[in-house]
Structures are given as structure tokens and as C-alpha cells.
Amino acid sequence: MERDRALARIEAVLDAVENDPMPVPVREVWVYGDVALGLDPIERLDVYVTKDLLLRGDADAAARFETEHGVKGIGRSVSAAWAEAYPDRIRTNASGHAAPEKCLAAHLLDGDEPIHLEVCNASFEDNVRQRLKSAIDRDAYEQILDPRGVCLYAEEQRSESALQKLRDGELVFPTLPESLSMLGLDDDTAAEAADAIRAYRASQSGRTVRGDVV
């Protein structure tokens, strides 16, 4: 993906978060990896969204959507107002429940562009550390989140200064092995983990989405 196209996609995501009803409340939007490093072109655009739970359930909507559409969880895990406005964007998991991360991907992303969307209830920085610990415990280095991220939206507003630095390629980050070493990995493990992350990303294609709960 050309960098200009990636940046336009990011801004479209931010516009939607600011102006559209969302399947679930969105607290933060980050980008990480290639686009944060200023690469052009980039292999994949990595976007991280921190979501909140719905504060108020809607039992009537849940029953109606389950009866009319065979979808469980509308009004509980996914906003009923959003589902009413965008019924074509409702996505479910294997058990037929509305999946917040898949609904967000359907709303925020277009087509099958090389974009990966991470959705979690925890902030990016907290989840980087949690995923690192979990990946090491399970010897699954490919599941580590690249820690080189930029926060573009928080506290209900976008960061214009961070966006401008992203556009201008002014952000400076260490290499991936160095970043992992800064999080506590020894040099050999950091290098092995970085190779696993790169190999896993190279194996992905098109639009991908992952939901996580910490």
C-alpha cells in the first residue's frame, strides 16, 4: 500500500470514529509498525482500537434482532442503534453472536485492502506488555504486538500534532529487536521474536481483524 493511501485510510477511520455511531464505544485509535516508521510503500497498515463495553443494554433489541435476523448479542455486546443504522455491517462469530471487532472492521475498513485491525478493551501500551508476556509463556512469538505505535485518537479527540508528524515521517523509533529488548527481552530472544513477527505478518493477506480481551 502506498503511504499516501494508507494515511488517507487512517484519516477516514478517525473521521468515522468521531462522526459515526459505532458498534461499541471507541476510546483510543493507534497505528503501529510500518506506517509509524515512515515507510513507503508499506506491506500492511496496522491499526489498533481500544474499545469500551456498552454501558446500557437493550434487552428488547437483543430479542428482536435474534428473532428477525438470527443474530444474538445486539443491544448487549454491540450497539442496537448502530445495528439499526447499518444492518449490512453486522458480523458474527462462529456461535452466531455479534462480534464487536468484526463489526468495527466492517464499519471502519473498505474492501480487502492490506490492513490489520486489532481490537481490545485495554490500551495499546498495556496490551503490548500483556501480549508479550503471553507470547513468551506460550512460545508463540508471532503473537507479539509491534510496540512502535502512535496514538492518534484519545479522550474523544484526534491528535493533530501526532497526525502531522505521521504525515511528515518525523517519528523516530528503534528497530523491532531493539524495541523488544527495551521491554525486557534479551538480545537473542528479541531477534528471534522479531523474525517470527515479520514472518507472520508476511504470511497475512488482505484485511484481517483480531479481537482481544485483557
pLDDT digits (tens, 9 = 90+) for 16-51: 999 999 999 999 999 999 999 999 999 999 999 999
C-beta of residue 191 within 8 angstroms of C-beta of residue 100? no
State mean pLDDT over 174-200: 96
Mean pLDDT of the chain: 93
What CA–CA distances, in Å, run from 187 to 115, 145, 191? 30, 17, 6
Cα–Cα distance, 13 to 16 (Å, whole number): 5
Q: pTM, whole model, 2 decimals?
A: 0.94
